[in-house]
């Protein structure tokens, strides 16, 4: 679908950016060269009257994206997690982008549920409410199961939303290609890659089976976390376009007056939000990446209940260890070690000076540690850290950018619950526990055990693999110098047997 027919959509987009005053903001954020600014103005200004007016009370960029519709709203939200692409100022504007749209009729939602679950709604639910929340991709209804009487939340995709998103994504690809052609200097921002990332995130959100899977995995990981709860997924009442979860009863996390009136300990809640997020990121490598006030409730018993699992973050084990060592180094003010970790991980090119890098890191850490406890921010630290590492040639790592953005949001929630919270005092025991369990002799033995187990699985095939490899290599070797494949295979077989012994020894420990 990508092609000239998308030009009209781009003209309408440019007209809206021009009419709302967002054009200059966007061009500045992307550091557009003069000739690209000229093209954008020429295409936008004459057609400004075709643009959507939007809500004048919103900041320009937010106003424009809100007016352009669901795909643009979602694009803005995802770009708010990429300050490396759009810059800090625009990212901050996009973080307040409201994912709220008029609901579609309940009758249409009921038809969608019946079509997806292949049963009449009245047979499944004894109650099915009007929409209680409507976003760019789906809306939520409160319902009651007919057979058990349990209250549930039913999330239903908007009708024809897949086609609408596909059409706009095609226009985005055309825009990205035009940027690459007209502004070669902008290729450093990798516009086509940015759109591919956006497309992948959106396609995942348009399949509610994937969100159900994320909710179930998150619930399993956090089942033993005291004071935290994830609603249960009702798999037999969920499909690609419908998802059913247990109802989350509680006070919205932004309603501080109600939380206080209910007698909840705000200090404990603020510390728990932050501590749990760090545990999920470090311990599990799977964290809620949209953990703002609207996706958290405080249950009557004081539990924190998480909702909306469309955007989740994942860190592999190696990245978690690197991240933990970086945080631990900052906590101990060991800037040399933080620098070494960056070099060991390959985040910073090996030809750079480690001592110079450590000095730059000290310039990041010392001002923050000198602040009053209520102003110390781990999110600010990570932001400054990325600025420094970029100067030293570190390539963008999307998973760490998402982690940093989520850290900022979680800190905001924690401070709204308890403004005097000391971020480092809460973080230190979590990071230290992770370091103790995952970096050191015990972790090394565990890693060796896993490595040997993997190699051990190839044991029976090692002689054949070695013989085949040698035969392939022998064509260019004189006959008198060729090793005997049978002898080599015998040695390899003995080696495999030795690996099996190592496995037994490692498991004994």
- For the question of residue 170 being annotated catalytic, the response is no
- Residue 276 corresponds to which tokens in the numbers above? 């749990």
Return phi, psi of residue 133, to 5°.
-160, 135
Query: Residue 233 gets which letter from DSSP?
Result: B
- Residue 363 corresponds to which tokens in the numbers above? 């310039």
- Residue 267 corresponds to which tokens in the numbers above? 């200090």
Answer yes or no: are the C-beta atoms of 492 and 463 closer than 8 Å: yes
CA–CA gap between residue 421 and residue 170 (Å, rounded): 45
Given the residues 170, 290, 308, 351, the one annotated as active site: 290
Tell me, letter by letter, the H, E, C secondary structure of 46-108. Answer: HHHHHCCCCCCCCCHHHHHHHHHCHHHHHHHHHHCCCHHHHCHHHHHHHCCCCCCCCCCCHHH
CA–CA gap between residue 187 and residue 181 (Å, rounded): 9
CA–CA gap between residue 475 and residue 484 (Å, rounded): 14
Return phi, psi of residue 66, to 5°.
-60, -40
Answer yes or no: are the C-beta atoms of 52 and 19 closer than 8 Å: yes
Answer yes or no: are the C-beta atoms of 329 and 341 closer than 8 Å: yes
Q: How many CB atoms lie within 10 A of CB 94?
A: 24
Catalytic annotation, residues:
290
């Amino acid at each position: 679908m990508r092609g000239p027919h998308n030009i009209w959509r781009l003209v309408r987009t440019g007209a809206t950016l021009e009419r709302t005053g967002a054009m200059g903001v966007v061009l500045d954020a992307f550091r557009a060269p003069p000739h690209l600014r000229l093209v954008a103005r020429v295409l936008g200004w004459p057609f400004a009257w075709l643009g959507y007016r939007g809500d004048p009370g919103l900041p320009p960029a937010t106003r424009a994206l809100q007016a352009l519709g669901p795909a643009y709203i979602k694009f803005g939200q995802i770009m708010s997690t990429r300050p490396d692409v759009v810059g800090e100022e625009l990212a901050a504007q996009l973080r307040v982008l409201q994912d709220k749209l008029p609901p579609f009729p309940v009758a249409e939602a009921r038809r969608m549920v019946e079509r997806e679950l292949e049963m009449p709604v009245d047979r499944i639910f004894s109650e099915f409410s009007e929409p209680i929340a409507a976003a760019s991709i789906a809306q939520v209804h409160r319902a009651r199961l007919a057979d058990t009487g349990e209250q549930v939340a039913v999330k239903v995709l908007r009708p024809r939303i897949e086609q609408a998103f596909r059409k706009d994504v095609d226009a985005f690809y055309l825009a990205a290609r035009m940027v690459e052609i007209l502004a070669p200097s902008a290729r450093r921002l990798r516009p086509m890659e940015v759109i591919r990332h956006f497309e992948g995130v959106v396609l995942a959100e348009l399949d509610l089976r994937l969100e159900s899977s994320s909710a179930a995995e998150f619930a399993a990981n956090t089942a033993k976390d005291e004071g935290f709860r994830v609603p249960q997924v009702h798999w037999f009442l969920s499909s690609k376009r419908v998802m059913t979860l247990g109802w989350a009863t509680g006070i919205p996390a932004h309603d501080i007056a109600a939380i206080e009136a209910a007698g909840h300990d705000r200090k404990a809640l603020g510390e728990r939000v932050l501590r749990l997020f760090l545990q999920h990121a470090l311990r599990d490598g799977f964290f809620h990446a949209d953990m703002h006030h609207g996706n958290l409730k405080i249950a009557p018993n004081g539990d924190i209940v998480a909702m909306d699992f469309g955007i989740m973050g994942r860190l592999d084990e190696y990245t978690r260890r690197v991240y933990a060592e970086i945080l631990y180094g900052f906590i101990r003010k060991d800037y040399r070690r933080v620098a070494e970790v960056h070099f060991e991980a390959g985040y910073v090119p090996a030809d750079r000076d480690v001592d110079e890098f450590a000095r730059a890191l000290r310039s990041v850490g010392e001002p923050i540690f000198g602040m009053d406890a209520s102003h110390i921010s781990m999110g600010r630290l990570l932001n400054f850290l990325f600025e420094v590492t970029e100067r030293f040639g570190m390539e963008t790592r999307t998973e760490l950018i998402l982690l940093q953005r989520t850290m900022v949001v979680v800190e905001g929630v924690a401070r709204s619950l308890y403004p005097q919270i000391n971020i480092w005092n809460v973080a230190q025991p979590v990071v230290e526990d992770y370091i103790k369990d995952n970096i050191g002799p015990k972790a090394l033995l565990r890693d060796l055990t896993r490595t040997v187990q993997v190699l051990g699985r190839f044991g029976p095939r090692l002689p054949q693999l070695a013989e085949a490899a040698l035969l392939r290599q022998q064509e260019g070797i004189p006959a008198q110098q060729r090793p005997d494949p049978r002898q080599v295979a015998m040695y390899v077989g003995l080696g495999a047997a030795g690996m099996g012994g190592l496995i037994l020894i490692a498991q004994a420990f």
